[in-house]
Chain A
């Protein structure tokens, strides 16, 4: 058990997933460490949902391997499955039941079930226990889906755009819950989202998905502190890159023959003659890295 805890929660290697002729994931490699909180970013259609589903073994890969808790995802045992929580993108699930019936149903499958937590969240998020799920609002359905995923205290929590259907108050409550109850417990959390401000609040790591690969994964603070957008004559930029050992994340030619680069490990850079050096925001990174 100790070995399992020390080893990575998830290891993805050479993952290829395609829909017919369209290849969505192209040799993707990814690694999630225990307790890591990763925000997955990517444009619409980049394959975020496909990646999360493949990570959980819900989607067959053309090639490559996925391991969860040291086991091949295709043959997870009950013990490993009991450690996974999943909130899919679609929240109107089991809408022929009431929240109480839904939770009783799932409780019957899990060896560990935190009844107090589930009840507490239902009350705090004002979800009627005996109202049919179909009659709940979109936000309430989403919250219920989150309650269901948290109630068995998972060690790996995968959330596919969990706050998309929530209003700002709901998002704040959810993120607070995530930070206080889940992240502090040492749970590994992966979630995809388009709302960058939310991600900045809780994600200690961000992973950018583009062209079927994780093009960059890094701690968010470090990324924002040490990434710069520099622009200037190509030769001067190249010399600067070599001198400081900068990692170029993206290079874009400008119309006047100059070059613009997004570079890492550049916290020490200062503006120079004919050379601009700018800090970047998460939105800038998103726009540049997910193109």
Chain B
């Protein structure tokens, strides 16, 4: 079992992401401390528990990811005790996380630690199962969006009443029930070889390959069923735009060259993905409306927040996707660099930056306007959505990188962007809570963004040509 923990640690070491653990620890201490000064001890305790929950759940998910990678069908079948070791390691770490969280809640709140621990345990297990079955991420949107409806369903209310009764009278029975659910989850997470395991492994490999590929809509996605079909449909505007440009020999060479990054980092891919998501959501809403007339009467605040959050994460897609796209198409960029008409050196950097910048700003404007309108419509308050959107602005100049020296993308890069987003959102929320007007927040965001943009633009003029990316990275 120690080998399982060691492998997870070594993976982090080899990827150079050990520092993230230190970052998490710092977050755990810094957030409650800052909030204790700004918003008082109560808010500090609540936020401290939230951060602890996120850190514990993140750590558990990371361990699950590592264990799933180790759970190869061949090893599961041939290596004695491998499956049992993986399951034991996950069970032990799950139990430890539940215990830590429950005790912490009990120590700070004085009560409900037991229930909080169990709820956390179920949440962590749900997170792990989402890693195992990626399509279940849809529940992250569906569950809160439809919460107001399903919480009132008679079977759900009856089940909830039963849980409360058992909790009051037989807490150990409740604990045993949760443990049984967790054990079932573990059985699903770690498989023991055989054809079903083999199929599931291959399916996950295909998912990983399609997510790592430069293009959603990569032909490999025909093997992914409906999601693959949707991804393919999402790239239709990219293909149409390419046909259009190639038919017009006078179109700008740089406009054509930008197609090299694939749909995931191109505005046509972004537009296609937005249309595909809108189509899917519309389909869900129409189906729900037909199956349960009047369900939207109870449309909760959560729906507004869910949609606003989704829109703003969409606005940051150019930022999140560009690293992967630049990395995955390095060889293609080399061919483009040799093609006539494509700018070279600093001119290439500026041309790429300009196209990316326009793309990112338009995406931001559309998504911010959408989030504000939705919030205004559903909860009659667009202030928070606008503040969050404004707080995202300073992240956009992060697109303008020295791609020739950039390192290959890693999960750490993604986490860094998300942490930056979290920090910006936190600052915006605190400023809003302290009564700072939106105009002032907007002005501050604009000044910071402008400063960063000028600094990055000047750096790009001195940087070596962006293509092929990563050729001058340390260790390349």
Contact A20 B218 (CB under 8 A): no
In residues 99-125 of chain A, which contact B (Cβ within 8 Å)? 101, 104-111
| B474 contacts across to A, CB distance below 8 A | 20
> Do residues A104 and B246 form an inter-chain contact, with CB atoms below 8 A?
yes
Interchain CB contact under 8 A, B246 and A105: yes
Say whether A93 contacts B342, CB under 8 Å: no
Residues facing B in A36-79 (CB within 8 A) are 53, 56-60, 74-76, 78-79
- The segment from A81-89, A162-170, A232-240 that touches chain B is A81-89
A110 contacts across to B, CB distance below 8 A: 339-340
Task: Assess the A84–B338 pair: CB atoms within 8 A.
Answer: yes
Which residues of A are found within 8 Å of B340, using beta-carbon distances?
78-79, 81-82, 109-111
Which of B217, B235, B334 has a CB less than 8 Å from the CB of A53? B334
B residues less than 8 Å from A58 (CB atoms): 334, 337-338, 468, 471
A96 near B214 with CB under 8 A, answer yes
What is the minimal beta-carbon distance from B247 to any residue of chain A, in angstroms? 8
Question: Taking CB as reference atom, which chain B residue is nearest A79?
Answer: B340
Q: For chain B, residues 238 to 264, give those with C-beta under 8 angstroms from any C-beta of chain A.
A: 239, 242-243, 245-246, 249, 251, 253, 256, 259-260, 262-263
Q: Which of A20, A58, A78, A132 has the most B CB atoms < 10 Å from its CB? A: A58
User: Is A176 close to B, CB under 8 A?
Assistant: no
Which chain B residues in 243-296 approach chain A with CB under 8 Å? Answer: 243, 245-246, 249, 251, 253, 256, 259-260, 262-263
A228 to chain B, nearest CB (A): 42
In the bound complex, CA of A20 to CA of B471 (Å)? 11
Chain A residues within an 8 Å CB radius of B476? 19
Which of these, A76, A88, A104, contacts B335 with CB under 8 Å? A88
Q: Which residue of A lies closest to B474 (CB)?
A: A20
Q: Within 8 Å of chain B (Cβ to Cβ): is A95?
A: yes
Q: Does B127 contact A (CB under 8 A)?
A: no
* Nearest neighbor of A87 in chain B, beta-carbon distance: B335
- Contact in complex: A81, B218 (CB < 8 Å): no
B86 interface residue (CB < 8 Å to A): no
Q: Is the CB of A95 within 8 A of B259?
A: no
Chain A interface residue number, banded: 35 or more
State whether the Cβ of B472 lies closer than 8 Å to any Cβ in chain A.
yes
> Contacts A59-B471, A81-B340: A108 and B249 contacting too (C-beta < 8 A)?
yes
Give A196 to B447 CA distance when docked, in angstroms.
63
B245 / chain A contacts, CB cutoff of 8 Å:
108
A132 to chain B: closest residue by CB: B219
B472 contact set on A, CB distance < 8 A:
60
Shortest CB distance A56–B (Å): 6
Task: Please determine whether B339 and A109 come into contact, CB atoms closer than 8 angstroms.
Answer: yes
Report the Cα distance A132→B337, complex, angstroms.
24
Within 8 A of B (CB), among A14-29: 19-20
Q: Which residues of A contact B334 (CB under 8 A)?
A: 53, 56, 58, 86, 88
Q: Mark A119-141, 1 if CB is under 8 A from B, else 0.
A: 00000000000001111000000
Q: Which of A75, A82, A94, A101 contacts B332 (CB 8 A)?
A: A94
The answer to whether B220 has its CB under 8 Å from any CB of chain A is: yes
A90 within 8 A of B: yes
Does B237 have its Cβ within 8 Å of any Cβ on chain A?
no
A86 touches B338 (CB 8 A): yes
| A93 close to B332 (CB less than 8 A) | yes
Known pairs A101-B242, A108-B246, A109-B253; A96 contacts B341 (CB<8 A)? no
Q: Which residues in A have their C-beta under 8 angstroms from that of B341?
A: 78, 109
In Å, the complex CA distance between A75 and B334 comes to: 15
User: Which of B243, B253, B338, B344 makes the CB contact (< 8 A) with A75?
Assistant: B344
**Chain A residues near B260 (CB-CB < 8 A):** 94
Question: B154 at the A/B interface (Cβ < 8 Å)?
Answer: no
Decide if A96 touches B246 in the complex (CB within 8 Å): no
Give the distance in Å from the alpha carbon of A23 to the alpha carbon of B232 in the complex: 44
Counting chain B CB atoms within 10 Å of each CB, the highest count among A20, A74, A90, A105 belongs to A105
Contacts of A134 in B (CB 8 A): 218-220
Q: What residues of B have a CB within 8 angstroms of the CB of A79 in the complex?
A: 340
A88 to B330, CA, bound (A): 11
Partner of A108, one of B214, B256, B332, B344: B256
Q: Smallest CB–CB gap between B31 and chain A, Å?
A: 38
CB-CB < 8 A to B195: which residues of A? none
Chain A residues with Cβ below 8 Å from B80 are none
Task: Please report which residues of chain B, range 296-335, place their CB below 8 angstroms from some CB of chain A when the two chains form the complex.
Answer: 331-332, 334-335
- With A58-B468, A59-B471, A88-B331 as known contacts, state yes or no: A96 contacts B339, CB within 8 Å: no
- 7 nearest CB pairs, A to B: A132-B219, A96-B215, A78-B340, A109-B339, A134-B219, A108-B246, A82-B340
Interface residues of A (CB under 8 A from B): 19-20, 53, 56-60, 74-76, 78-79, 81-82, 84, 86, 88, 90, 93-97, 101, 104-111, 132-135, 148
A-B residue pairs in contact (CB < 8 Å), sample of 25: A56-B338, A58-B468, A60-B471, A60-B472, A74-B345, A86-B334, A88-B335, A94-B332, A95-B213, A95-B219, A96-B217, A96-B219, A96-B235, A96-B262, A97-B242, A101-B239, A101-B243, A106-B335, A108-B249, A109-B253, A109-B256, A109-B339, A110-B339, A134-B218, A134-B220
